[in-house]
Amino acid sequence: MHTSLSVQELFTGSEWLSELVISFENGKIVSMTKEDYDPKNAMPLVVPALIDLQIYGAENKLLSEYPEATTIEKIYRYCLQGGVAYFQPTIASQSNEIIFKAIDAVKEYRNNGGKGCIGLHIEGPWINIAKKGAHLASIIHAPTTKEVEEIIAYGKDYISMITLAPEVVDKNIIDLIQKNNIVVSAGHTDAAYELATHFLNNGITVATHLYNAMSALQHRAPGMVGALFNHNTARCSLVSDGYHVDFAAIKIAKKIMGERLFCITDAVATTKTGIYQHQLVGDKYESHGILSGSALTQLKSVNNLVEKVGIDLGEAIRMCSVYPAQVMQIKDLVGTIEIGGKADLLCLSADRRLIKMIVA
């Protein structure tokens, strides 16, 4: 089916274009031209659909508590409402039984035509208990090779990212995970600056939620934050809700890290059962009085970056689309609008409110 859309302002992921027509067919963009532009029916603003690499639940369903395909469907609906076309459903530190059930949920969702799911993001339990945050201490442990081999074999092609503390996981195990095309992200880590730098120089290319649950930047102990700041290529996610990280701290990090910084929502859902019980407190979630997740959408992340941090709109969009795609290095997941690419478009009003999503 051939469809055309007139657009007043288009951001491709690399440049701004004005007053043109995007045509797409069978989910692919076939042309972008100024011919036949219709100003009366033009969409005010079109940008690449967004990407969220860390989201735990939606509609009162947390994936770790309800490891079912229906939970992932709820997450997808929530993602669409916030401008996201591609997402990683995430579970915090859990038993192997729940990890396997979460893998089953992703398998069922994708094998039955579910859209947008990049794969499962397993955050913990192979983390440092000193930086556990809201994770349950009794579950946290260093993994054995056998344990990791069994999980990887069971979740082959369905696990896309694992967050772990590299100082508590054997290097051979980290190599094993990466050899199976799973992105290893350093998170919930208490590594000192020198050790953190060593890991970032030797295979780990990304870290999880800057500032949160990682060794802090201090003038005599720069920690993981300092290692990320001083590195040339390592990337890191960030929760831009103003609660996980003060907006001034985001501004500092952006000046230092530039294109290496990207956004996740870290969004959870109200849950009253299970080991992770999240309550909505204002615009954030808490668990037993501890900050445990955000109430963000990725479009809200964009707007916070623009309005609260002073980041250019195009760059804010890249932080929620292009840069997450680059982290995953998956063919056809690029976070851009280009001829021959997927027609994954986020249509916004002039004041950046969601009008509709077009998903390939």
Residue range 190-232, pLDDT digits in tens: 999 999 999 999 999 999 999 999 999 999 999 999 999 999 9
Q: ∠ CA(197), CA(305), CA(307), 5° rounding?
A: 150
Q: ∠ CA(27), CA(29), CA(33), 5° rounding?
A: 150
36 and 74 together in one domain: no
The reported pLDDT for the residue numbered 70 is 98
pTM: 0.97
**214 lies in a domain?**
yes
Residue 97, Cβ neighbours under 10 Å: how many? Answer: 9
pLDDT exceeds 90 at position 275: no
Amino acid type, 347: C
- Phi and psi, residue 93, nearest 5°: -45, 120
The reported pLDDT for the residue numbered 274 is 85
347 and 308 together in one domain: no
Residue 86 belongs to domain with CATH number: 3.20.20.140
13 and 138 together in one domain: no
| Structural domain boundaries enclosing 23 | 2-47+339-358
- Cα(140)–Cα(208) distance, integer angstroms: 17
One DSSP character per residue, 115-148 reads: -SB--EEEE-SSS-GGG-TTS-GGG--PPPHHHH
182 and 127 together in one domain: yes
The reported pLDDT for the residue numbered 98 is 97
| Mean pLDDT computed over 104-124 | 98
Q: Is 266 a catalytic residue?
A: yes
241 and 354 together in one domain: no
- Cα(132)–Cα(89) distance, integer angstroms: 20
20 and 97 together in one domain: no
pLDDT exceeds 80 at position 76: yes
| Mean pLDDT computed over 1-21 | 95
Range of lowest pLDDT (38-47, 278-287, 320-329): 278-287
Question: Which residue of the set 266, 283, 332, 351 is catalytic?
Answer: 266
Number of structural domains the chain divides into: 2
Count CA atoms within 13 Å of residue 271 on its CB side: 25
43 and 54 together in one domain: no
63 and 30 together in one domain: no
Question: What is the C-alpha end-to-end distance of the chain, expressed in Å?
Answer: 12
**333 lies in a domain?**
no
- Phi and psi, residue 325, nearest 5°: -65, -40
**334 lies in a domain?**
no
294 and 252 together in one domain: yes
**Mean pLDDT value across the chain:** 96
